[in-house]
Amino acid sequence: MSYKALQVAKVYRNLLKAVVKHIGKEDKKRHFREYVTEEFRKNSIPSDLSSIPQKIKLAQDYTILLNSELLFSYNIAVDRSDEMKRVLGKSAASVGLQLPEVYQP
């Protein structure tokens, strides 16, 4: 493998790790991982070699945003329902209340 191929593999691996860690690997969030994988596979044989550094930079930037949790704080492209439940639970607990448990069959 060349240096460029190793760099792309490292960026891809780091991005997938960040997606799994910060977005989750539940079945309902699978489309995030699938999109990343699809984009890297689609661009594995690029037609335009000048676009490769831009795409690598984009993947690195998105990884940084995920790891710094800026996407969560700005509510961009993430499901915030779990975070909202946690925040509501803390707010309710601060005034001596509890949120009811949601029935899931």
pLDDT in tens, 34-82: 998 998 888 777 777 788 888 889 999 989 888 887 666 666 655 667 7
Residues 82, 68 within the same domain: no
Q: Which residue has the tokens 């690598």?
A: 56
- Predicted confidence at residue 71, as pLDDT, reads 64
pTM over 0.95: no
Cβ 19 vs Cβ 36: under 8 Å:
yes
Cα–Cα dist 35/56, whole Å? 15
Q: Token pair 């792309």 is at which residue?
A: 8
d(C-alpha 17, C-alpha 23), whole Å: 10
Give the domain extent around 83.
78-104
19 and 50 inside one domain: yes
Number of domains in the chain: 2
Confidence check: pLDDT of 100 > 80: no
Does residue 11 contact residue 59 with C-beta atoms inside 8 Å?
yes
86 shares a domain with 65: no
Residue 89 identity (one-letter amino acid): G
Residues 21 and 58 in one domain: yes
